[in-house]
């Protein structure tokens, strides 16, 4: 076969296609099948149709988890975008030691999410936390703030804890998009008297929007399903204020050992992600 032959390309791609099929399609198919079964280690395994899905969505706790998950995902995504965009814009203008600063900024990316949660748990602790101690010492607080006892502040703390390890990915993507923009466009805009805000609005944003949308898509998908940082910081509390869908899945799987219900929750999560991910993927592909 010739290299230009489409059959040759299909042939050399076949091992990769088979591998992807085994690690993606087969487990996903098993998950879908299990979600339609009564699989709880108590009763005989049998097909029950949509009963697992009805049981899941009829629980009030599921809707609390969904609301918290949406708040968490939106908060993480917007804050990650803001930090990543600002740092990318700033770093793109650095000429001296730019490589050093870029390396420094992506270091949190190497930290596991659980460890990030533990670090922020310690820093925000009302008794021994560095942040509370510093704010009291400089007079901004009269007494340490019990962040993990306040539902709103607890959610905010988990968002910050995850953003710390999520922003490097957004930073790299946005910086790559900015670096791909021809410098002549900025020079021409400067000659025409355009200010920095105008260059950002009419040059940077339009030409780097593909990288921004990819970063938004991936960040939102990962934050929607993650529980690592929340687990190590709040365990879903106080009063279920940081209880996300991932905890709902874990309770069915570990506490109740009901694989059927856990699979149903996983499928619901997958469908919710697809609802907002597919339009964004279509837009990015079209661009």
Q: For position 164, which CATH number holds?
A: 1.10.3720.10
Is 137 part of any domain? yes
Side-chain-side CA neighbours of 234 within 13 Å: the count stands at 30
Is 142 part of any domain? yes
Q: How far apart are alpha carbons 287 and 279 in whole angstroms?
A: 12
* 215 contacts 169 by C-beta, under 8 angstroms: yes
Query: Phi and psi dihedrals of 46, rounded to 5?
Result: -150, 160
The pLDDT, as a whole number, for residue 108 is: 93
pTM: 0.91
The pLDDT, as a whole number, for residue 276 is: 86
Tokens 């390309």 belong to residue? 9
Q: How far apart are alpha carbons 196 and 194 in whole angstroms?
A: 7
The pLDDT, as a whole number, for residue 15 is: 87
With CA atoms as reference, report the closest residue to 229 among 146, 81, 145, 120.
Answer: 120
Give the model confidence (pLDDT) of 82-118 as tens digits.
999 999 999 988 888 888 888 899 999 999 999 999 9
Is 216 part of any domain? yes
Give the model confidence (pLDDT) of 213-255 as tens digits.
999 999 999 999 989 999 999 999 899 999 999 999 999 999 9
With CA atoms as reference, report the closest residue to 52 among 263, 274, 276, 272.
Answer: 263
Q: How far apart are alpha carbons 212 and 207 in whole angstroms?
A: 10
pLDDT score of 4 more than 70: no
Give the structural domain span for 219. 63-286
The pLDDT, as a whole number, for residue 242 is: 95
Is 4 part of any domain? no
Query: Phi and psi dihedrals of 47, rounded to 5?
Result: -75, 125
The pLDDT, as a whole number, for residue 154 is: 95
Is 221 part of any domain? yes
Is 8 part of any domain? no
Please report which confidence band the pLDDT of residue 1 belongs to, taking 50, 70 and 90 as the band edges.
low
The pLDDT, as a whole number, for residue 280 is: 83
Domains identified in the chain, total number:
1
The pLDDT, as a whole number, for residue 121 is: 94
Is 127 part of any domain? yes
pLDDT score of 196 more than 90: no
* 141 contacts 135 by C-beta, under 8 angstroms: yes
The pLDDT, as a whole number, for residue 16 is: 86
The pLDDT, as a whole number, for residue 52 is: 95
The pLDDT, as a whole number, for residue 287 is: 65
When pLDDT is averaged across residues 133-159 and rounded to a whole number, the result is 91
Count of H helices and E strands in the chain?
14, 2
Cross-strand partners of 47: 37
Is 180 part of any domain? yes
pLDDT score of 2 more than 70: no
């Amino acid at each position: 076969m010739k290299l230009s032959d489409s059959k040759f390309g299909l042939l050399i791609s076949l091992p990769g296609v088979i591998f992807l099929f085994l690690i993606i399609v087969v487990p996903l198919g098993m998950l879908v099948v299990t979600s339609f079964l009564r699989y709880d280690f108590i009763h005989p395994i049998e097909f029950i149709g949509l009963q697992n899905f009805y049981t899941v969505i009829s629980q009030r706790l599921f809707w609390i988890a969904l609301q918290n998950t949406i708040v968490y995902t939106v908060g993480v995504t917007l804050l990650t975008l803001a930090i990543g965009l600002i740092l990318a814009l700033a770093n793109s203008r650095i000429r001296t030691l730019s490589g050093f600063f870029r390396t420094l900024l992506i270091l949190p990316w190497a930290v596991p999410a659980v460890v990030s949660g533990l670090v922020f748990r310690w820093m925000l602790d009302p008794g021994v936390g560095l942040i509370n101690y510093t704010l009291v010492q400089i007079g901004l607080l009269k007494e340490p703030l019990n962040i993990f006892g306040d539902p709103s502040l607890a959610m905010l703390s988990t968002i910050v804890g995850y953003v710390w390890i999520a922003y490097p990915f957004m930073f790299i993507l946005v910086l790559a998009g900015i670096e791909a923009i021809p410098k002549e466009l900025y020079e021409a805009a400067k000659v025409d008297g355009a200010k920095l805000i105008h260059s950002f609005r009419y040059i940077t944003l339009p030409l780097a929007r593909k990288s921004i949308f990819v970063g938004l898509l991936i960040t939102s998908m990962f934050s929607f399903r993650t529980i690592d940082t929340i687990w190590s910081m709040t365990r879903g509390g106080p009063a279920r204020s940081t209880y996300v869908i991932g905890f709902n899945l874990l309770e069915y799987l570990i506490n109740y050992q009901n694989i059927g219900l856990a699979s149903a929750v996983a499928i619901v999560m997958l469908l919710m992600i697809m609802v907002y991910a597919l339009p964004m993927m279509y837009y990015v592909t079209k661009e």
